[in-house]
Amino acid sequence: MKRSELSEFELEEEGFKLRLTRKNGDVAPQIIQAAAPAPVAAPATAAPTAAPAAAAAPVEEKGVEIVKSPMVGTFYSASSPESPAFVKVGDKVTADSIVCIIEAMKVMNEIQAEIGGTVTEVLIENGEAVEYGQPLFKVKTA
């Protein structure tokens, strides 16, 4: 870290996070074991007076799949600022359709849908940073 003049380095993978911080020339590692996401309980069908917190839980849509980011980076909806978006709401995609580019470490990675259907929602804005597993698109498969 001294040679590269880095003051902080962070690596994050599924359920594991490692952060190295250099202060006053010393490296202090922090290993953080991330907790597994809590399971979401299915809503009760016979409970008309549900708690407000239960109403805030995300509802899974039948026949809708989510295209998620396979990496950390910057989301781009097109190959250049002048080019049209790879996909927009209403477009049909196949498993091998390119839906966006994610830039990671100066490398442009074309991201495929990996599912077939119709794009119903774009969940991220062009140029925004994305995390591993972050939802990018909703695709109606049925």
Q: What is the pLDDT of residue 74?
A: 95
> Helices (DSSP H) in 2-142: which residue ranges?
52-56
CA angle (123 as vertex; 45, 110 as ends), nearest 5: 130
pLDDT given for residue 9 in this prediction: 74
The pLDDT of residue 19 is: 75
Residue numbers of the chain with a pLDDT score lower than 70: 1-2, 4, 23-60, 142
Place of tokens 């880095």: 6
Q: Pairing mode, if any, of strands 117-122 and 92-93?
A: antiparallel
Provide the 3-class DSSP secondary structure of residue 9: strand
Q: Enter the pTM of the model.
A: 0.56
What confidence score (pLDDT) does residue 88 get?
93
Q: What is the pLDDT of residue 22?
A: 73
- Say what the pLDDT of residue 133 is: 93
> Hunting for tokens 């799949």 — which residue is that?
65
pLDDT of residue 52: 46
Q: Tell me, what DSSP letter sits at residue 49?
A: S
User: What structural domains does the chain harbor?
Assistant: 1-35 (no CATH), 63-140 (2.40.50.100)
The closest of 132, 119, 133, 129 to 86, measured between CA atoms, is 119
Alpha-carbon Rg for the chain, nearest whole angstrom, is 20
